[in-house]
Amino acid sequence: MDRYHRQIIMPEVGAVGQDKLKAASVLVIGAGGLGCPALSYLTAAGIGTIGIVDGDCVDLSNLHRQVLYQTKDVGKPKSETAAKRLKALNPNVLFHAYPTCLDTDNALEIMTPYDIVLDGTDNFPARYLINDACLLLDKVNVFASVFRFDGQLTVFNYRYDDGTYGPNYRDLYPAPPAADSVPSCAEGGVLGVLPGIMGALQAAEAIKILLGIGDPIVGRMMILDTLHGETRYMSFKKRPEHWNGNKQIIVEKLIDYDLFCSDYQNTSSQRNNTMIKEVNVSELKEMMDNNEDFQLIDVREPYEAEIAEMGGKLIPMGELLDRVDEISKDKKVVVHCRSGARSASVIQMLQDRFDYDNLYNLKGGILAWADQIDTSLEKY
C-alpha cells in the first residue's frame, strides 16, 4: 500500500486495479532506447511479471538515451543488466531475462506466457516478426518508433469487448519500405530524451489496457514532433483483403523475416530495372592496392567524416542533387556510407534518375572497413 499509494488512490485504479497489475505479465522486446523507460515504469507500476528480450550488450553510444545502464555496464548483456537494475527498483516484480535476439524459432515460445507485448525494436524484420507472432498468439502489440526528433506510437491487434480486432502492423505497412530508404537511428541520429518519452507512453498504453480503462491508441498513430512541440494523429484502418470477417488471413505461420524484407526490396529494385551492384571491403582494398582507376564517394555527413574516414570525395546525401556532375560516368564509382544503407539509396536514385550504370555500393560501409581492414578507425 505504501509503495503504490499514489496510484491506488486514483478511482480508475484502486486496490482491485493494483491487483490486476500484480497478476499481469508484459514482455518488452528490446531493452534499448524505448525499452529502458518502458521497463522502468512498468516495474515501478507493479506489473507482476516482466520479460526482457535483447541479445545485445551495452555500448558506450547507448548511454545518452538508454538510462537503465551505467558506464560500468559497457560490454554487459542488456537483458540481464536491466533485470538486475530493475529488481533493485522493485523486488516484488518477477523478471525473466532472455539474452537472445527474437527469431522465427524462439518467438512463439518466448511470447506465449505474456499478456501484452511491447515492441521496442528498431528494424523491419523484427517488427514484422513481432506483429505476426502477436497475430498467431492473439496478443496485443504496443508499438513505438523514434527517429531524430520524431516519435510514433500506436497499439496493434487490440481486441475490443465485442471480440473484434483493431488493425495490426501489416494493415498499416503491408510491405517493407524500398531498399534502404529508411536510415536507422545509428545513421540518422535521435534526440536522447525522445525514446524516453515514447517508451513511457508505451508503458502507459500497456497499463491502460491491463486495467481496462481509458481509450487505447488503436487505429490511430500518435506522431510527436519534439523539435516543434507538436502532436498529431493519423488514422488508419484494417485492410479488407487481410481479413475474412473477424479472422486475419495473411499470417498462417512465422517465416524468415530477413528474407521476406530483402526479397520484397529486391523485387522493388527489379521492377525499376535498377539492381544495385556491390563490392565488399576486401575487394575495395584490392582495388586501392592495385591503383585501379575508380572514384570513391562518401555520402555521409561532414561530422561523420570528421570521426572516421577512408578517403574519397565527400558528397553528403542531402547535397547530392546539386552535385551530381561531380560523380563520374566514365569509370567505376564506389559509394559508401556508415553501413551501406544510405549509399544503396543514393545509387538507386542515381540509376533511376540519371541513368548511371557504373555505381557500386560498398557492402557494410565504413563499419565493415573498420572491422576488417583498418581497425584503427573509430566506430560510431
Q: Do domains 5-267 and 275-372 have the same CATH topology?
A: no
Residues 6+ apart with CB under 8 A from 340: 180, 361, 362, 363, 364, 365, 368
- Single-letter residue type at 351: Q
**Hey, what CATH class is 275-372 in?**
alpha beta
Q: What is the pTM of this model?
A: 0.74
Question: What's the pLDDT at 164?
Answer: 94
Question: What's the pLDDT at 9?
Answer: 97
In CATH terms, the superfamily for domain 5-267 is: NAD(P)-binding Rossmann-like Domain (3.40.50.720)
CB 176 within 8 A of CB 261: yes
Question: What's the pLDDT at 303?
Answer: 77
Give the Cα separation of 153 and 234 in Å (integer).
10
CB 88 within 8 A of CB 68: no
Closest CA to 199 of 48, 309, 65: 65
Question: What's the pLDDT at 377?
Answer: 87
Q: DSSP per residue over 227-262, as a string? A: TTTEEEEEE----GGGEETTEE-S-SS---HHHHHH
Domain ranges of the chain: 5-267, 275-372
Mean pLDDT of each 10-residue bin along the chain, 380 residues long: 95 97 98 97 98 96 95 97 98 98 96 98 94 97 94 97 94 73 69 96 98 96 93 91 90 88 53 73 95 94 85 88 92 93 86 91 93 85
